[in-house]
Amino acid sequence: MTAEFSLPVRVYIEDTDAGGIVYYVNYLKYLERARTELMRTFGLERAAVSDAGWNFVVSEVSLSYKEPARLDDQLRATAVISAVGGATVNFHQTVSRDDSVLVAGDIQIACVDRGTGRPTRLDADLRKQLEATLAPTEKVT
């Protein structure tokens, strides 16, 4: 599997403000879609919800907005797994237009028990799959 997952995204009128510029929160939606589709490549049909009783939730976000996207732009949202912990997965993500990075940042998701909302360890097999995408020095124990 490749380390970076890329998803094409078209900017629609619903994504923009009155000036035709993408509203800042919509970048989070683009990044969510890329993470979700990346996690599907690991066999998670419903990438945020497991039949085993756990959910993935966003626990940390740090983004830098560099350039605006505009109505009808063709963008690319990417996701790269940057670290895997006992109950967390960290991603480095970008939204780009051609060769220009418009938004870049890091997002952490946590595995939580659906009933209690408390952190729970990642499934061992899933964790191994996720770690296999990392360079050896990037693994978190």
Domain annotation for the chain: domains and CATH numbers: 4-133 (3.10.129.10)
Instruction: Tell me the CB-side half-sphere exposure of residue 57, using CA atoms within 13 A.
Output: 10
What are the tens digits of pLDDT across the range 51-96?
678 889 999 999 999 999 999 999 999 999 999 999 999 999 999 9
Q: Are 104 and 97 in contact (CB under 8 A)?
A: no
**Tokens 């940042």 — which residue?**
105
For the chain, the straight-line distance linking the first and the last C-alpha, in angstroms and rounded, comes to: 22
Catalytic residue among 17, 51, 106, 123: 17
Q: Are 103 and 64 in contact (CB under 8 A)?
A: yes
CB atoms near residue 102 (< 10 Å):
21
The question of whether 17 is a catalytic residue gets the answer yes
- Its pTM stands at 0.88
